[in-house]
A and B are shown apart, each in its own frame.
Chain A
Amino acid sequence: MKIMHDDSYFSPDDLKAPHWDTGLVRRIMPYLARWRGHFLLSILLVLAGTAVQISLPYLLGKAVDQGLKQNNHEALLHYVLLYGSGHFMFFVLSAARNWLLQYTGQKVLHDLRNSLFNHLQKLPISFFDHTPTGRLVTRVTNDVATLAELFSAALVNVSGQILVLIGTAAMMMGLHFKLGAAALITSPILFAAAWFLKVRMREAFRLARAKLAMLNAVLAENISGMNVIQIYNQEAEREKKFDVMNTDLKKAELDSVFYNSFFFPAVTIVNALTMAIIIIYGGWLVQQSSISIGLLVAFIAYTQAFYDPVRQISEKVSIFQSSMASAERVFSLMDESPEPDLDEGKEFSSFEKAIEFSNFSFSYSPDKPIIKNLNLKIEKGQRIAIVGHTGAGKTTLASLLKRFYEYSQGQLSLDSVDLKAYSRSSIRRKIALIQQDVTIFSGNIKDNIFLEEGSYDEDKMQKIIAELEMQTLLDRLPNGLETEIFERGSNLSAGQRQLIAFCRALATDPEILILDEATSSVDSETESIIQRAVLRLTSNRTSLIIAHRLSTIQNCDRIIVLHNGRLVEEGTHEELLAAEGHYHKLYELQFSQSN
């Protein structure tokens, strides 16, 4: 477990209070527009459900007036049946609304997630250099989901609840204006109390959550560092420190409980106040014969139902807020500018003459030049080794040839045409880069060799197997090419992983091969397998090898010695040895080491 950035337990974002932002809402709209039919239908369902819902107390009142008061069994049956079927309709409508909302919400979520993911795939490598993977995964999964909740749960439900409130109020006023007004007189208190307390509850809750997250981060850290604590006899000290945070958390939680404890009592009291008004004033009206007893019953039922929407709305407000925060994060990622169109430019299909760097310089950041004034020509069919100390700029050269980074100083041409004139797609397909730490994807061996879906080609596979002499290695795997690879390739040896990387490169029929040799030592058997494979891989192919192995270096047509971004020596193995310069020293050492 890493101690430094433990996003899973604590994210400082928890502490931020988000705000409503119309600009963000406008950006969400296009995703909703695609499903406007579904949204329209769910709004219709909400409307119909609301209508049915607010007619129910009225029907109850009618049953009392027409049935009970008139001693009319038929009218009673009539209204009870209406009432019952009203409930059944409400059941159907709300189930349908719930389903449709979840369905549409998921569809919107899926679209959003895909467009964010697809956007990420188009961002330049430089973006990924400085953004941690974990953060991006959170954006694609959690933030998008929170954002999508805005549509399903919040947007439609809240408007539905507001409708119920308005409908109930209108119904009461319509049935009897004065009694309705009297009943509604307390509602501002209800809204004010709900709003006032909910704001505080949310704050207290957020604080408690942040404290919990911090405590958990500290816990995780202490458990990971337990041996250090125990060896230095620091148990008591750590326990004290932990207790301070634990107590802090307890206080925050108790605060949260405190505000929470006010909410329901407040609602109960306001509700009772309303009920008292209705009974006294309404009862008096009944006695004055201005209203029927059934209407009073309906009013009692309306009052009992008035509180629920208020509670639901105030709960949903927090969803709005967290969706806003997520929307902000998601859309700021969408604003990252992607690489230009990968297919734009000349198609690079076959390599004819040479790659040429002239007066070429490059740096990632202005103050740290990586490559300085490089002049280098690599001709077709050559096998070139690049050697030099770590940080000499070897790997950067490889990335530049793949057009992973933009450059501006000097010339880099391919067959006498500026590399920038070619389409990135064709360059990346035809110049294969084999990296030293092999990325393994989930799936089987085949999937990992033919990365492009559906590009598997049995003949080509057999050719590659023959060329790299890897049949014996395949035979060792339980299901050969179909063997499923575990997470991060843990069921493969280092050598097997390296071979997969070689096969992967050959599967695209590259014109130029760039090989970043692994520096890490492997056992001697693997070493010899890799050595043979590299030799076969690079013979008859233009290849650029960032070399660490003596055997590879000796077999190269030309050796380039880079130092601090400059080309310091260049020539064949013999020439460089005779020059007794930088390379000579390097060779002597390597040689003596292998003996």
Chain B
Amino acid sequence: MGLLKPYRKHLLFGFGSLLIVDIADVLPPIIIKTAIDAIEKDEGTTTLIYCGIALILTALVQGLFRFFWRQFFLGTSHKSVYDLRKMMFSHLLKLPFHYFSRTRTGDIMSRLTNDIQEIRFMLGIGILVTLDASFYFLSIPFIMVWLSPQLTLITLIPLALIPIVVLSVSKAIHNRSKEVQARLSDLSARSEESISGIRIIKGFRTEESEMKRFNRTGLEFVRDKIRLANIDSLFHPGLDLIIAISMVVLLLFGGKMVIAGTVSLGAFIAFEAYLLKLSWPMMAIGWIINIYQRSMASLERCLQILQEPVAEKDATRPYLEFANHDLEVENLSFAYPDSDKPVLSQVSFSLASGKTLGITGPVGCGKTTILRLLVKMFSPTEGKIRIGGHDVDELNLGQLRSLFSIVPQETFLFSETIRENILFARDQKDDAAEALQMALKAGLEPDLKEFPHELETMLGERGVNLSGGQKQRVSLARALAADRPILLLDDCTSAVDTETEKAILSGIRNAEKPRTCIIVSHRMVSLQNADLIIYLKDGKIVEMGTHSELLTIKGHYAKTWERQRLKDLLERDENHA
């Protein structure tokens, strides 16, 4: 509950307001009692007028402080949740890559949305109701005892049933609601299947079967929903009935006491009012217990995220000087956590600043893993990586990352403008001229006129959808704009045609300031001009050399090269036919 600490003052004010509100709320029955007793005794109208004024005054006080009370408690809950959300997000930003690879986005999101909502409920309404109910419990029974001890005893007995009923029934309701939820997801799964498979359904003319199936799933939903209604519809009327039993007891015994003269009529009426007032905190007990349990579970789920160890990015290691960015990789081996299957074994190579390395090989040979190890998304199980002579393990993680631009295989763009996406890694995000230059380098020129507002076009939501190739090129422009010494391209031009790709790559190669570049690709033409090419198979380097060297070996590389050359020929032929 450290979340509430910064708002202690607010809560204290809230608590003060609550006290005033509750006192003002407990008074009216006594005022009414005074008025009725005055009427009974035939006292003048002045007492009545005083009582009327007192009623209005208590209401004004109550109204005023009720306003503060909600402001303080509910307002604080929103502020605390704002803090919590901020804390969690900034913690998430620091978590290492493997946390995100083993945790589903949906799971994190549910903690950030549903669980936070539960916690807010507890911090706001939950605390408010708890305090409110406690006050009623600590005051009303005493007033009732003051009015009549015997009546208090007999009327409170049935009222005590309320928390028991609330607790047991709400459990049953909860269980049946869960079933209803499950049926509901069946229903949406069924309709999703029928809609996405519509071509098959129509193709085989089985629409009627599909309708029958959907109807059945729907009936199951209705059945469970009615099962829920069976208890649900009894719940509130049942609570009303318990209160009514109390009232009947009061009328019967209290009435006899009024007749006997042991209790005044005014006290009797006040007693009735208190009984009604007490029924609400009785109901609240069950509700509070429920919400408390749920919010504790939610709090724990949020804490789990906050307790995840962060990557050592914010370590206080100093930034080092680099004379060059020569890359040395020595006996690199790696297996993903929770798996003993090695993905890379004994990979060694070196690459001088400004040179280009090509990596190729069949699917799953470990190409992408090499790049991931370079930027330290994972740490190698064995081996060393040196950049400019420095062991990367000794570098500040922030500095290490600032050496690389990466264009990942799966393009991820943000739903912002294309310009903002391109200048993502820049401090200045409004330099339109710079963004345009990078877009041109990435071969986006012909696409620009397709975007409704050129570089200012918003991506996502209702904006345009980029084609796969366009997304890849925006992602590439982002990497170029980042302007880092080493550029990593992870099979990022698969959806770009060969001609465009060629132009892009030669643009990068012939830049005034040649960059170290590692290109992972299935497409051999992308690699042929590289200074060094690695053919990877099952995590091992099987062939290494320049394009012409590898062709002369006549190994895996040469075979793949020949196959692709022919395929390209065909495609070109088809395009020009």
CB of A44 within 8 A of chain B?
Answer: no
CB of A573 within 8 A of chain B?
Answer: no
Given contacts A1-B105, A260-B74, A293-B36, contact A226 B100 (CB under 8 A): yes
In the bound complex, CA of A220 to CA of B108 (Å): 9
8 Å CB contact of B412 from A3, A92, A425 = A3
8 Å CB contact of A73 from B39, B94, B259 = B259
In the bound complex, CA of A200 to CA of B486 (Å): 56
Which residue of the partner chain A has the closest CB to B196? Answer: A133
In the bound complex, CA of A265 to CA of B190 (Å): 48
8 Å CB contact of A239 from B66, B93, B106, B198 = B93
> Is A250 touching B78 in the complex (CB atoms < 8 A)?
yes
> Is A265 touching B100 in the complex (CB atoms < 8 A)?
no
Shortest distance in angstroms between B243's beta carbon and chain A's nearest beta carbon? Answer: 9
In the bound complex, CA of A222 to CA of B415 (Å): 10
CB of B496 within 8 A of chain A?
Answer: no
CB of B201 within 8 A of chain A?
Answer: yes
Q: In the complex, which range does the number of interface residues on chain A fall in?
A: 35 or more
Given contacts A128-B198, A137-B192, A280-B45, contact A114 B213 (CB under 8 A): no
Which residues on B sit within 8 Å (CB–CB) of A304? 273, 276
> Is B97 touching A230 in the complex (CB atoms < 8 A)?
yes
In the bound complex, CA of A68 to CA of B198 (Å): 75
8 Å CB contact of A404 from B32, B38, B74, B202 = B202
In the bound complex, CA of A429 to CA of B222 (Å): 34
- List B519-577 residues whose CB lies under 8 Å from chain A: 562-563, 566-567, 569-571, 573-575, 577
CB of B451 within 8 A of chain A?
Answer: no
In the bound complex, CA of A184 to CA of B322 (Å): 85
> Is B205 touching A275 in the complex (CB atoms < 8 A)?
no
Which residues on B sit within 8 Å (CB–CB) of A589? 566-567, 569-570
Q: Which of A251-259, A361-369, A472-480, A540-548 contacts B (4 or more CB under 8 A)?
A: A251-259
CB of A492 within 8 A of chain B?
Answer: no
> Is B207 touching A99 in the complex (CB atoms < 8 A)?
no
CB of B187 within 8 A of chain A?
Answer: yes
CB of A87 within 8 A of chain B?
Answer: yes
> Is A227 touching B82 in the complex (CB atoms < 8 A)?
no
> Is B570 touching A585 in the complex (CB atoms < 8 A)?
yes
Count of residues in B whose CB is under 8 Å from the partner chain: 142
> Is B211 touching A117 in the complex (CB atoms < 8 A)?
yes
Given contacts A253-B78, A342-B205, A589-B570, contact A220 B105 (CB under 8 A): yes
Given contacts A106-B225, A227-B377, contact A260 B82 (CB under 8 A): no
Which residues on A sit within 8 Å (CB–CB) of B459? 4
In the bound complex, CA of A268 to CA of B86 (Å): 37
In the bound complex, CA of A537 to CA of B211 (Å): 30
Instruction: Report whether over half of chain B's contact residues are helix, strand or loop; otherwise say mixed.
Output: helix
> Is B39 touching A283 in the complex (CB atoms < 8 A)?
yes
Given contacts A246-B85, A404-B202, contact A231 B406 (CB under 8 A): yes
CB of B112 within 8 A of chain A?
Answer: yes
Which residues on A sit within 8 Å (CB–CB) of B78? 250, 253-254, 257
> Is B425 touching A234 in the complex (CB atoms < 8 A)?
yes
> Is A439 touching B197 in the complex (CB atoms < 8 A)?
yes
> Is B49 touching A95 in the complex (CB atoms < 8 A)?
no
In the bound complex, CA of A262 to CA of B198 (Å): 52
> Is B42 touching A287 in the complex (CB atoms < 8 A)?
yes
> Is B563 touching A593 in the complex (CB atoms < 8 A)?
yes
CB of B232 within 8 A of chain A?
Answer: yes
> Is A238 touching B93 in the complex (CB atoms < 8 A)?
yes
Which residues on A sit within 8 Å (CB–CB) of B406? 231
Which residues on B sit within 8 Å (CB–CB) of A275? 28, 32, 55
> Can you list 22 pairs linking A and B with CB atoms under 8 Å apart?
A73-B259, A76-B251, A76-B259, A87-B247, A91-B237, A102-B229, A106-B225, A117-B214, A219-B89, A223-B92, A223-B108, A225-B412, A227-B408, A233-B402, A265-B64, A275-B28, A280-B52, A283-B35, A293-B40, A432-B203, A451-B209, A589-B570
B residues apposed to A, CB below 8 Å = 28, 32, 35-36, 38-40, 42, 45, 48-49, 51-53, 55-56, 58-60, 62-64, 66-67, 70-71, 74-75, 78-79, 82, 85-86, 89-90, 92-95, 97, 100, 105-106, 108-109, 112-113, 184, 187-207, 209-215, 218-219, 221-222, 225-226, 229-230, 232-234, 236-238, 240-241, 244-245, 247-248, 251-252, 255-256, 258-259, 265, 268-269, 273, 276, 311, 313, 375, 377, 398, 401-402, 404-406, 408, 412-415, 424-425, 459-462, 465, 478, 482, 562-563, 566-567, 569-571, 573-575, 577
10 interchain residue pairs of minimum CB distance: A272-B59, A98-B233, A265-B63, A87-B244, A276-B52, A102-B229, A232-B425, A261-B70, A99-B233, A389-B574
